[in-house]
Structure 1
């Protein structure tokens, strides 16, 4: 993986997240260059500097988009708004959730991103999925061709958002004739930041709500609905598929078989976090004020005794050089899914790329693999995704 910050993996990972989702290398470099020589990248001052630098770039690109829009060039404006939204979301990811500017940066970023999709003419809707007394914010990306298309419910991970997922995958699924419902579910995105909804281990609860919603749409074939999720979603998606039987296929984009074990590794044997800010962030996501409570909830997030209940086709993709989650999580997920009619483990090797956490070093390889697999399992019609609607001859 290209490591812009060779001495600090989390920031290098964020740089690759930008590059995999449409960021421009010169803008990314300009945002990061003032941060390169900071002596302590782990402390609050450095995290504030990160937010300030990336937010400044987001504001600049947004201003250029506004100028394009005022000049009557919505396509050019939209491309800039999407980048501005992406940069803003990457800006707000790093500091503590207590940071006084974080929420404002987040709100501006999602507004920019939404404006970008509108100006670009993407066939999307900003929708809300009823979930008890709440409504989960989501992006519905419609497959071309008309009629009832298959749809993939897409969840996030520990700290991503529906917009970041959209930027990575939406176009490839659309081209393959698959609609997407990308959801800010409890514990992430707007559900956490604006609705104060923490995550719980029972991901089938909000997965079921998503399928309920899709059953009300006349442009979705409710008999061809699958699920995918990345990073911590490598637990969420298989858990949901195990107990929500209306899901017809499942993709774990980076496996997590036992999150309790992963959290124990991350926190270290003394109970002190080995990754700066991780314990605080996870406590926010799970609404657990103490490390002991965080450990207890994380220990419930396991596929032990769960994977055996998966009865739809399962794909697990994992990087050979994943430095966050060891490969055994992927191997065990597939090994224990004994009742899945098809189960496949795709390991991305260093020699080819896509070998880092969730393919951070080359996301295109992993996205292509997943999109092809989902389109096949859900019986999508890629020919319908062509601009002229005609098959090649």
Structure 2
């Protein structure tokens, strides 16, 4: 019988794994042989390795689409193995690096438009994946921002929602996230990553820099409005299940979430982690957002209370709030409703003439 940490992880994030591309059969087989939280990442690595071996066989036979799909499954399996898993930081870091490479390999086979970007941030390098919609010469683009221990490798299908509507995507690992998080800890002013990313892209003539959107998920639902408040080039922002002040719900967070934040923030202990969490605070910030803003959550969210996300909307001049009555955290249990709505809204905002 799985231990309580595994049960907690599945209760909070099980639908999210499926939504973001973990095969249901991989999930069931991995959980069935995992008895303890300590064994969570090793068992997911085993599942990822099985997919990677299948990918190599497909590559050897010249079946590049099959290989690309298997490399993507390997990457997302490995990612969710080390997601909020702080048992062995060296093993988790190695899984991060392997998941990154597996996504790079997958995109090389599945999306010839994909590019890996390197962004100078605070003296280190941050990373992002750029994808472009086929047949669109100069598309608008959406910067996709992960949450706590979420990464760009998680977003293949979320990106597709925008690509299908003619929008390019730039999925960013910022401070504390993915491979960037190995060298740059969490910080409240996420614009330190967004602004240099937009600076880097500004020199390209194959993107429409007057039509830029930003979308953030979970803690990214804090980062997105925070960064947009201080970045005037953005035309629209969407935040999904984001907190108004992350430290407010510290005591109610699952233990692995508190531990993950503490580690990713570079804190010495959980008490210092709490103090840093309280600096992720939108007080006085949302009022600076002058562009249309969509805030989405689920009423059954047990991680970030829906009232936190509603407060973001209430304090944003052009804020719109949508609360799915049966939605969970990130509304990941309703992807067929939430994702099209978010992508349609963003496409509508970025298709309109930019406002002065």
Instruction: Report the counterpart of residue 11 of structure 1 in structure 2.
Output: 10
Q: How many residue pairs end up in the alignment?
A: 350
Question: Is 1:375 the equivalent of 2:347?
Answer: yes
Partners of 2:67 and 2:126 in 1: CA distance: 28
Shift, 1:143, TM fit: 2.1
Distance 1:50 1:172, change over 3 A: same
Question: Is 1:291 the equivalent of 2:270?
Answer: yes
Question: Is 1:83 the equivalent of 2:73?
Answer: yes
Partners of 2:49 and 2:343 in 1: CA distance: 33
Partners of 2:251 and 2:160 in 1: CA distance: 37
Normalising by the residue count of structure 1, what TM-score does the alignment of the two structures yield?
Answer: 0.84
Partners of 1:61 and 1:175 in 2: CA distance: 27
Match of 2:313 among 330, 334, 347: 334
After superposition, where does 1:66-105 map in structure 2 within 5 Å?
66-96=56-86, 98-105=88-95
Shift, 1:101, TM fit: 2.2
Unmatched runs of 5 consecutive residues or more in structure 1: 39-45, 267-274, 381-393
Partners of 1:49 and 1:7 in 2: CA distance: 10
After superposition, where does 1:92-241 map in structure 2 within 5 Å?
92-96=82-86, 98-165=88-155, 167-193=156-182, 196-241=183-228
Please, what is the CA RMSD of the aligned residues?
2.0
Unmatched runs of 5 consecutive residues or more in structure 2: none
Deviations 1:260-299 (A, max 9, x none): 2022433xxxxxxxx2333331122211213332222221
Task: Please tell me whether Structure 1 or Structure 2 has the larger radius of gyration of its CA atoms.
Answer: 1
Instruction: Report the counterpart of residue 317 of structure 1 in structure 2.
Output: 296
Distance 1:10 1:200, change over 3 A: same
Runs of 4+ in 1 over 4 A off after TM superposition: none
Match of 1:356 among 322, 328, 332: 328
2:136/2:166 contact within 8 Å kept: no
Match of 2:234 among 243, 247, 253: 247
Instruction: Report the counterpart of residue 301 of structure 1 in structure 2.
Output: 280
1:153/1:182 contact within 8 Å kept: yes
Shift, 1:184, TM fit: 0.5
Distance 1:334 1:121, change over 3 A: closer
Normalising by the residue count of structure 2, what TM-score does the alignment of the two structures yield?
Answer: 0.93
Partners of 2:159 and 2:23 in 1: CA distance: 19
Task: Tell me the SS of whatever aligns to 2:210.
Answer: strand
Greater Cα offset, 75-84 or 88-97: 88-97
Distance 1:93 1:7, change over 3 A: closer
Distance 1:121 1:306, change over 3 A: closer
1:50/1:94 contact within 8 Å kept: no
Shift, 1:240, TM fit: 1.0
Shift, 1:49, TM fit: 1.4
